[in-house]
Structure 1
């Protein structure tokens, strides 16, 4: 009996020792991969999004996985990476230029000229009537605008300089991402099978989690960003037609579309007010109609279409997930926030299924 007890204890100690060693090397592996963790996660999400294209190419190249994976990786580069680099570079350049033009316009005394117009006087009177908590007469509009544009310009320059100084790091991560994407597309199903084998969860639970990750990355993220891009492009066209720099402010409109309730209105309403003040009332009316009908319809029809299905998330929760994600993870939180919230929703669902009887008894 004592020998059996000693044997059981030895077996238990051996398992604990194995788990400690295993945990130690897992920690070391994590520290080695930590600098590339964001790249790995983005590669996994991209592989999930582009896998349907990979399967179609696989049929066309007669089952040659290497060729299909290479072609899909190149497709991703031309559809996402190249446009993103061009857009970011142009955005910083146009942003600095727009800020400089606004500062020059203010310093030339154009703001004082506008303040003397009847339209501005009417807007000022409306402000006094409805915004009584503000002493509008004492507001230093010119000083405030100059300070705001200066700070914004410095922010854009610092971000642009940061991007340029980190070119080597970006190039390295870019090639790692392409390398990972290639192998994830080619060997993804085998990797997934091994992960499922190691998981203690039931097969149906595993399938549910992986389906949710795919659904969130495809529907919620795609719906959010494609809608933002579409609204930014449409808004930029309307602004350019109205005589306002379309590229930069269209991009700002795209970012603003992520904000619930107010959305793109935070950009186009001030633009319309500006056009009214400078005497371009016809263009102000045109821009308002354009943004309400064209830009607004994209939010009302395109977003629900792209986010349809079981991965559909409330715009309010998407917004909270994006803002919270940015606060915790930085800019990459735009992706992590909705993804984590979506996976959390799956575990809540699995909990409801697993403990349905107990939850029902308590009711």
Structure 2
């Protein structure tokens, strides 16, 4: 009896010490958790390509992992850098043009439009706040345009100034990715050995984590890219900077409920008020039919592997993940929800007899 008590005591002490050590280890890597998670997700996305290279060059795991990482750099980093430079340049040009239009009286002429005047009169009648005038709107637009240009310049300057941190984060992500690709089998086998569950339960958890991480990235980011491209094409057709606003539309697609409408609706209003109502109608139809259908069709299609999660759960996981973790929450949220569903499913199987007995009592 005493021996059994001593054994159980040692087990509890060991588990408590292990949990404390794991928590301390988490605190050590917490500043770099973004790079770790990104490397994990990229390893899932790149692993089929890595396996293909491994079949072509067998017996050289270090070389294969290095080639996979190098391919990722060429495919992602180089185009992304060129696009980012073009976006900043186009954004600065657009901001200067907007400020020039505002300062030369373009906004005053727009405020004298009959539809604008009727709208302001109606708003002033029903609004409990103070009276809104065209002059105050022009002043606010001028301040916003000037401030937006400064913020854009400050952002690009800050980004260039923080280039050391960006390079460090990217190199750290590549370093982690190298070992995740090279030692994939060892890592999976170690997890199977450490996790105190049956092999079928471990397979269910690990398989779901892989599936959801892959589908979350593909579903969210590819949908954002597709909406940005589709919206940017329409924006360019109507005569506005397509690359800049298309990119803004891609980022806006992550905003729950509003999404890309945050960009194309104001653009439609601007075109309508400036007299280009055919282009405003075209952009509105394009935004609803083309850009909207991408979000309604493509995102659920790409994320359908998420543990049989309903559209409601996917939506809640995305908005909750973004609210709690920021942009990386589009990965964290679905993974947390999906693993919770799998654990509930395993719980119901493991305690089936007990739950049935409780249900009858």
Question: TM-score scaled by structure 2?
Answer: 0.85
Q: Establish whether residue 76 from structure 1 lines up as the match of residue 72 from structure 2.
A: yes
Q: Which moved more, 1:244-253 or 1:116-125?
A: 116-125
Q: Which residue of 1 aligns with 2:209?
A: 213
Equivalence for 1:98: 94
The yes-or-no answer on 1:233 pairing with 2:243 is no
Alignment partner, residue 276 of structure 2 = 280
Tell me how far 1:197 sits from its aligned partner. Answer: 0.3
* 2-structure distance, mates of 1:48, 1:146: 47
Cα distance in structure 2, aligned partners of 1:75 and 1:168 = 22
- In 2, Cα distance between equivalents of 1:206 and 1:228: 33
Change (3 A) 1:32 1:308: closer
Aligned position for 2:340: 344
Quote the offset at 1:127 in angstroms. Answer: 5.4
1:243 Cα deviation from its structure 2 partner: 0.8
Which residue number corresponds to residue 359 of structure 2?
362
Q: What SS is found at the alignment partner of 1:207?
A: helix
For residues 300-315 of structure 1, the aligned pairs below 5 Å read 300-311=296-307, 313=309
Q: Residue 306 of structure 2 contacts residue 334 of structure 2 at CA under 8 Å; is this kept in 1? A: no
* 1:48 alignment partner in structure 2: 44
Match of 1:181 among 170, 174, 177: 177
Query: What whole-Å deviation, never above 9, does each CA across 1:161-187 have from its counterpart, x for those lacking one?
Result: 332232212212222221221221121
Structure 1 position 200, deviation (Å): 0.8
Per the alignment, residue 103 of structure 2 pairs with: 107
Q: Which moved more, 1:344-353 or 1:236-245?
A: 344-353
After TM superposition, give the deviation of residue 224 of structure 1 in Å. Answer: 1.4
CA shift for structure 1 position 14: 5.0
Identify the range of structure 1 (312-321 vs 73-82) with the bigger mean alpha-carbon deviation: 312-321
1:298 is the counterpart of 2:294: yes
CA contact (8 A) 2:216 2:330 kept: no
Give the whole-Å Cα distance in 2 for the aligned partners of 1:91 and 1:319: 29
Which deviates the most, 15-24 or 172-181? 15-24
Q: Does the alignment pair 1:198 with 2:194?
A: yes
In structure 2, C-alpha distance between the alignment counterparts of 1:322 and 1:236, rounded to whole Å: 24
Kindly tell me the number of residue pairs found equivalent between the two proteins: 358
How many Å separate the matches in 2 of 1:25 and 1:260?
38
Distance of 1:92 and 1:324 partners within structure 2: 30
1:151: how far off?
A: 4.3
CA shift, 1:37, in A, is: 2.4
CA contact (8 A) 1:259 1:319 kept: no
Looking at structure 2, the residues matched to 316 and 246 of structure 1 have their Cα atoms a distance apart, in angstroms, of: 32
8 Å CA contact 1:49–1:217 kept in 2: the answer is: no
Q: TM-score scaled to structure 1, two decimals?
A: 0.84
**Which structure 2 residue ranges, 5 or more long, are not aligned?**
none
Distance 2:17 2:257 in 1: 52
Q: What is the alpha-carbon distance in structure 1 between the residues aligned to residue 67 and residue 346 of structure 2?
A: 37
Q: Which moved more, 1:194-203 or 1:98-107?
A: 98-107
Aligned-pair CA distance for 1:274 = 0.8
Root-mean-square deviation (Å): 3.1
Change in Cα spacing, 1:357 to 1:158, as seen in structure 2 (3 Å) is: farther
Answer whether contact 2:35 2:173 (CA < 8 A) is retained.
Answer: yes
Provide the residue aligned with 1:333 in structure 2: 329
String of CA shifts for 1:238-273, please: whole Å, max 9, x gaps. Answer: 101101111221112112223344432222122111
